[in-house]
Structure 1
Amino acid sequence: MPIHWDAFLTAVRERGEYPTDHEAERAARVVLALLGAHLVGEVRAELAARLPETFALVLLNPLQAQEPLSPERFVRATAAWIDGATEQTATWDVSAVLSVVADTAGEELTGRVLLQLPVGYDLLFGRPRTG
C-alpha cells in the first residue's frame, strides 16, 4: 500500500527542514525524476507502487540519463534542476528525499534499489553499507 501524499511530503519537509510544502515537493519531484532514470524493471515498479501516485508517476516517467550518474554527478544534476541550488544544498535535498524513499520502501527493496545504482548512493539514502 502506498504511503499517503501528506505523510510522504511531511516526512520530506521535516527531514529537509523546508519552510514550505512547495519547496519539499520541488525537491522530491527533481530527485525522483533523476532516480527514475537509473532504475529499471520490477525494482522501479515496486518502488513506484509504494510512493504517492503523483510521485510514482514522476519516478516512472523520468528525466533521461545518458549513463548512470555517480552520486556526485547526481547531486550536481539535482542542483542544476533546482533554482538557486548549490551542490551543498542539493546534497541536502537528495539526502532528505532519498532517506524518506528508503524509509517508505523498506530495507529489502532499498537494498535492491541500491544494487541498480553506482557505488556511493547508500550514503545518499542514509543507509551506509557496512563491511
Structure 2
Amino acid sequence: MPAHEDALLRQVQERGAYASPDEAERAIRVVLALLGAHLVGEVRSELAERLPETVATVLLNPLQAREPLPPERFVRATAAWIEGADETTAPSDVRAVLGVVADLAGDDLMSRILLQLPVGYDVLFGRPQPV
C-alpha cells in the first residue's frame, strides 16, 4: 500500500527540520530523481509502489545516469539541484528523504536496493551495514 503524500511530506519535513512543506517537497523530488537514475527494474518499480503517486513518477522517470554516483557525489549532486542547499546542508537533505524511503521500503526491499547502489549508500539511508 503506497504511503500518503501528506504523511511522507510530514515525515521528511520533521527529519530534515524544514521550515515548510515546500522545502521538504523540493528535497523529496530531487533526491528521488537522483535515486531513480541508480535503480533499475523490479526494485525501482516496487519502491515506487510504496510511495505516493505524485513522487513515485519522479522515481520512475529519472534523469539518466551515465554511471552510478558514489555516495559523496550523490550528495554533491543533491546540493546542486536543491535551491538554497549547499554541501553542508545536502547530507541532511539526503538522509531525511532516504531515511523515510527506507522505512517505507522495509528490510527486504532495502537489501535489494542497496545491492544496486555503490558501497556507502547504507549510511545515507540510515541503515549502516556491518562490514
Report the TM-score when normalising by structure 2.
Answer: 0.98
SS in 2 for 1:127: coil
Does residue 65 in structure 1 map to residue 65 in structure 2?
A: yes
In the TM superposition, what whole-angstrom CA distance separates every residue of 1:73-108 from its partner, at most 9, and x where no partner exists?
000000010122111211100000000000011111
Aligned match of 1:87: 87
Aligned match of 1:53: 53
Could you tell me how far apart the structure 1 residues matched to 2:12 and 2:68 are?
24
Aligned match of 2:123: 123
Could you tell me how far apart the structure 1 residues matched to 2:111 and 2:61 are?
22
Aligned match of 2:42: 42
Letter in 1 for 2:61: N
Aligned match of 1:111: 111
Figure out how many residues of one structure are paired with residues of the other and give that number.
131
CA RMSD of aligned residues (A): 0.7
- How far 1:130 sits from its partner (Å)? 1.4
Letter in 2 for 1:70: P
Letter in 1 for 2:120: G
Structure 2, unaligned stretches of length 5 or more?
none
Letter in 1 for 2:14: E
SS in 2 for 1:101: helix
Q: Is the deviation greater in 85-94 or in 117-126?
A: 85-94
